[in-house]
Amino acid sequence: MPEPTARISPLGVLETGLAQYRRTARRELWRYYLSSGPFVLLLLWSWRQVATRRTAALPWMALGLAVTYTARTLGSGAYIRRALAAYAGSAPAGPRAEFKRVAAEIWRRAALLLLWVVLAPCVIFTAPLYVAAHYAPLSGDTRRPLRGCLRWAASWYVQEWGLLALLGLMALLLLINLLLLAFILPVLLHFLLGITNLLTMAGGARDLLDNSSFWVGLLLATYLALDPVTQCALAVSFYNLQAERDGADLLAGLGRLQTANPAARSRRALGGSPC
Amino acid sequence: MSTNSWLRRARCAVHTEREASAQCRGCGRLFCRECVTESEGAVFCSPCLAARTAPLRSSAAPSWVRRWGGQALALAGLVSGLAIFFALFLLLLSAVMSYPAQYWMGGR
């Protein structure tokens, strides 16, 4: 059987992913932010502690980050699974929280993260490992999930670099927007409500730009805003890769055609021409 | 003998009167189309497919191993996953710490 190649272009994946994100945002986003919020806040706090050389609690900080990242792994896994189910038009899986499944999901994510860190100097593995980490919760039902998600990710190598480049461009634009917002909002608050803040004081803007925690917070905010879109886009790509093997998209299209045109169906049943 | 003529002469291991049309990925024997099933991109004969898809409970392991073996494996996976996360975050924080404070814009 030939290896699957993506039928859908990176731009198509991103476009469909964005549409999927907008369609499911109201119902599903709370799940993502509820799990990712604590990790991001703790990471920001830890950064501040480390930057100001408060190092006594370094192992405790790492432990807290590990625990909150585990929660994030599970929450974002549930989010991408639901995004895939919504895109495929199937019913989302119920709240299956068996110990074995949860443990396997965490192990897969940790193994992929470790692999990514080890292979970080070889830039060529960055994109497939990043994509495989997102596919890990989706390939849980297959026989060899870890190998499966790596194989799915490797099967559209060139296109995923294109997708990552587009996402990088989006992240840059979002970062610039957030930066402008961070500078404009305090000044507006000062003019409208008279609230004094760092930016309205002399040298305040310079102080803010010199603050590493501000930049880390900005990067994390960009990541939090864009990651759900990335998850939806990768759910779309996963569906398309699978559909090339099992023809699920063609079957769904056929089903839609049949429900959309009952008159043609009845004509076919009577033996007449469908046209 | 050329490969083509060998293939034409090959017979199904079950239905010897039929020409073979597939080779089992598991045992390597030749079968007709009816005797094989496609699974995960390869074809398998019935015994090989049954062996591949057999659940853990059909193994010869004692019942307590079957019951707790999977749980223990899952627990080991969970603990090792958490340990990897912990080690990576500790490494990250230590790496940030190892840089002089002025790299972090005056340590603010």
Give this complex's ipTM. 0.76
Distance from CA of A266 to the nearest CA of B (A): 35
Does A255 have pLDDT greater than 80?
A: no
Confirm whether A146 is domain-assigned: yes
pLDDT digits (tens, 9 = 90+) for B17-39: 788 888 887 777 888 888 888 87
pLDDT, residue B61, reads: 60
Confirm whether A116 is domain-assigned: yes
A168 confidence band (pLDDT: 50, 70, 90): very high
| A212·B86 Cβ contact <8 A | no
CA dihedral B75, B80, B83, B88 (to 10 degrees): -140
Share of chain A above pLDDT 90, in %: 23
A274 vs B74 pLDDT, higher one: B74
| B105·A211 Cβ contact <8 A | yes
Please tell me which residue of chain B has the smallest CA distance to A39.
Answer: B89
Distance in angstroms (rounded) separating the CA atoms of residues B50 and A52: 61
- Alpha helix (H) residue ranges in chain B: 3-9, 46-53, 63-98
Residue of B40, B97, B108 with shortest CB distance to A213: B108
Query: Whats the size of chain B, residue-wise?
Result: 108
Confirm whether A1 is domain-assigned: no
- Best probe of the A interface among B82, B94, B102, B103, by most A CBs < 10 A, is B82
**Three-state secondary structure of chain A:** CCCCCCCCCHHHHHHHHHHHHHHHHHHHHHHHHHHHHHHHHHHHHHHHHHHCCCCCCHHHHHHHHHHHHHHHHHHHHHHHHHHHHHHHCCCCCCCCCCHHHHHHHHHHHHHHHHHHHHCCCCHHHHHHHHHHHHHCCCCCCCCCHHHHHHHHHHCCHHHHHHHHHHHHHHHHHHHHHHHHHHHHHHHHHHHHHCCCCHHHCCCHHHHHHHCHHHHHHHHHHHHHHHHHHHHHHHHHHHHHHHHHHHCHHHHHHHHHHHHHCHHHHHHHHCCCCCC
Structure letter (DSSP) for residue A91 = P
| B90·A59 Cβ contact <8 A | yes
Distance from CA of A109 to the nearest CA of B (A): 8
pLDDT, residue A275, reads: 43
Distance from CA of A269 to the nearest CA of B (A): 32
Nearest Cα residue to A212 out of B32, B89, B95, B103: B103
Confirm whether A214 is domain-assigned: yes
| B75·A61 Cβ contact <8 A | no
Structure pTM?
A: 0.71
pLDDT, residue B85, reads: 92
Share of chain B above pLDDT 90, in %: 8
Query: Whats the size of chain A, residue-wise?
Result: 275
pLDDT, residue A172, reads: 96
Distance from CA of A139 to the nearest CA of B (A): 13
Confirm whether A2 is domain-assigned: no
Does B60 have pLDDT greater than 70?
A: no
Confirm whether A207 is domain-assigned: yes
Confirm whether A157 is domain-assigned: yes
Domain span at residue A98? 10-269
At CA B7, angle to CA B2 and CA B12, rounded to 5?
155
The total number of structural domains in chain A stands at 1
B4 confidence band (pLDDT: 50, 70, 90): low
Residue of B77, B89, B106 with shortest CB distance to A103: B77
- Best probe of the A interface among B43, B86, B94, B97, by most A CBs < 10 A, is B86
A93 vs B87 pLDDT, higher one: B87
